[in-house]
Structure 1
Amino acid sequence: MHRVVVLAPDGVYPFELGIPRRVFGSADGRYEVVTCTADGAPVRTDADFTVVPDHGPEVLRTADTVVIPPYSPSLAGAELSAPLAGALAAIPRSARTVSICTGAFLLAAAGLLDGRPATTHWALAGWFRELFPYVALDPDVLFVDDGDVLTSAGAASGVDVCLHLVRKDHGSEVANSVARRCVVPPWRDGGQAQYIEQPVPESTSSGTAATRQWALEHLDRPLTLADLAGHAQTSVRTFARRFRDEVGESPGRWLIRQRVAWARHLLESSDLPVDQIAGRVGFATATSLRQHLHAAIGVTPLAYRRTFRTAAR
């Protein structure tokens, strides 16, 4: 059984502390989730209570995956306490390490993110860059998978990255089942830009939600911005502005993301040839699908299919 060890730092956020157990624990016994502290002692949370895990840092030596939940930003910095440094040093080289939100500060302070891509909460990006200039920070994404080290943005992004790992380990069918049990989407569209503080558009019947749903039902068509605006019964310019306000990215980029997401699902769950999948998701050619899939996740359709069809078995 794959062992996930959650390391709770002082000032830990209670909600995110429970995410790994909730997600991995919903995968029908495929994971064992245990929680520890850096010195085996209770830790205070950022709420009005203390948590008392059953384990100390010794369990980190048995981990296949280690998750660092977020903790109070006032306690995050460029230096680690001796107990935390020792705890991180106990993690096996073969283990994956995952951070949620400010957990990335802890990994960066340990030098585990030097020269690597990473993310954290958008509101802390400036401070993070000041403390850790050698980290290739991308505050626009929900999570970054750099192989043995994964980082994610705030709160719900912890769910996103844990579901991503279930999907990576066991395929989309298992991940979708876990998502249904947790009553969350199997994946979320867009990046952090849609959550950055900005004026909220007025809620009117002229929003883009209905058109987005229509587009998802017609991805096989060569949809244009004019097509989308026509469905929404508005001008192209007005539609594009409303769409960006609501979704956080342009209609064209959003469409590509949906096509890639549906292509990934078909690669995982069907035996359709790549050219047929390309047509079903609205890419003109298999070459176009290959280009967009590689741009999104860095692999070819056949390599992706080999990875996830094997994991699903």
Structure 2
Amino acid sequence: MAKNKTFRWSDECEPHKARTKSIIKQHPEIRNLIGRNPYTFLIISGCVVLQLALAYVLRDAAWWINVLVAYCVGAFACHTLYVCIHECSHNLVFKNKTANLWAGMIANLPLLLPSSVSFQKYHLKHHSFQGVEAMDADMPFHWEARLIDNSALGKAVWLLLYPVFQALRPFRLTKEIKLFDKWTVVNWVFEIVFVAAVAYLLGVKAIVFLLLSFFFSVGLHPLGARWVQEHFLTHGEQETKSYYGRLNVVNLNVGYHNEHHDFPSIPWNRLPQIKNIGGNHYEELGYHTSYTGLLFKFIFNRELSVFSRTARTNRGKENSAPIRAPKAASQVNAQEVA
């Protein structure tokens, strides 16, 4: 039985700033990896087209086929699109911030729930204030953790409905970020027009397929174990863990999470190089190699619960020691530095 009925509290700052400084001191050449990857937009376009093509093909298919394809194919495309939205939030696709906003909204289309613009606002706070409940929308609510507790059924339902819980958390950041602005409105209008067009042209089953694909991509699915992998205390007190499994191939190296938090100005295609350059800085850390194994461990291990996270009141210093690329490379947005 899980003993903790509260988060693990720490008086220390989050661990990434110190490791970033140490790696840069030893390996200044790592700055050469800073930049952008505009080819990510081709991946966005391909996944959007794939989801629309599947929605078209499945518009008259049996419901069980709809669910099966959503779980086995659509979830992977949607998870990749979610990773692309994440890349856009760090301005790692295009140099122009507005272009990244539009790329994120296009990636958002098959996910049906307008969230790309809001995600950018609260995700950057997550990097700067990891574990600070009032600032980090990735941290569960206390009531959320108490509600789910450590039962297998509760954790399975929590994963299944993860997008719902995730959508509620940013509202506690209203004193720190402006949740609604003109770009938020554009995101909503753009998404509503898309959903209406798909419903009108392809019908209800197409909408259900897209919705199921999204919920599976971040929920009760091996891909949903990503949320457990990133910051849950699955082994000891290490609060960020990477995943070095096969799914990084189709999900744009999203598993390299320690590397990303240490250097959030480096695009997805160069994250493995951070690990290679960083050497023992990463080799000495715990990591995961199987999302499926982690999914079952989280659900059925009573020692793990939604409380298995590190929380802190020590905010540290936001955006301290900005990392700059060499002059020949793109400059770093100060907001992108952990």
User: TM tier, shorter chain?
Assistant: under 0.3
Instruction: Give the TM-score taking structure 2 as reference length.
Output: 0.26
Whichever of the two has the greater Rg, that structure is: 1
Instruction: Give the TM-score taking structure 1 as reference length.
Output: 0.27
Structure number with the higher strand fraction is 1
